[in-house]
Amino acid sequence: MKPGANNERVYRMAFASVYPHYVNKVEKSRLGGRDEGRTKEELHTVIHWLTGYTEKGLAKVIADKTDFETFFAKAPRMHPNVGMITGLICGYRIEEIEDPIMRQVRYMDKLVDELAKGRAMEKILRQ
């Protein structure tokens, strides 16, 4: 990703402002032959896997309106298999994004997309 290409704006964006869009995206999905979308609980499973946040920690991040930069900087632990998250998201190849914070944001975007598209949870969680 080009340095500074709206990165600061994304870093300062509150996770809480994007979270409802993640929930809506996964709950409204009707892909993969499913009659229903995915659940908020499945979204939380993906977020927990990626960042190590507990339900309580995630609720605090949302309530405190923590920005994305802090959200990832204070994540209890990024999953050791995040390097297995590859491919295109928003027109960029994830593995080529040099900025570590923006790459983490795109990891999240990619996992939410995979969940919304009905991909099997085992594959989303790189198991």
CATH code of the domain covering residue 46 = 1.10.8.290
In tens, the pLDDT along 50-89 reads 999 999 999 999 999 999 999 999 999 999 999 999 999 9
Residue 80 inside a domain? The answer is: yes
Q: Of 3, 22, 6, 2, whose CA–CA distance to 108 is shortest?
A: 22
Residue 2 inside a domain? The answer is: no
Residue 101 inside a domain? The answer is: yes
Residue 99 inside a domain? The answer is: yes
Residue 98 inside a domain? The answer is: yes
Residue 23 inside a domain? The answer is: yes
Contact 40, 29 (CB under 8 A): no
Question: What is the rounded distance in angstroms from the CA atom of residue 31 to the CA atom of residue 115?
Answer: 10
Domain count, the chain: 1
In tens, the pLDDT along 87-126 reads 999 888 999 999 999 999 999 999 999 999 999 999 999 9
Residue 30 inside a domain? The answer is: yes
For residue 2, is pLDDT > 50? no
Identify the three-state secondary structure at position 117: coil
Residue span of the structural domain in which 62 resides: 7-124
Instruction: Please give the model's pTM, rounded to 2 decimal places.
Output: 0.88
pLDDT of residue 127: 83
CB atoms within 10 A of CB 103: 18
Q: Bridge partners of 93?
A: 88
Contact 121, 41 (CB under 8 A): no
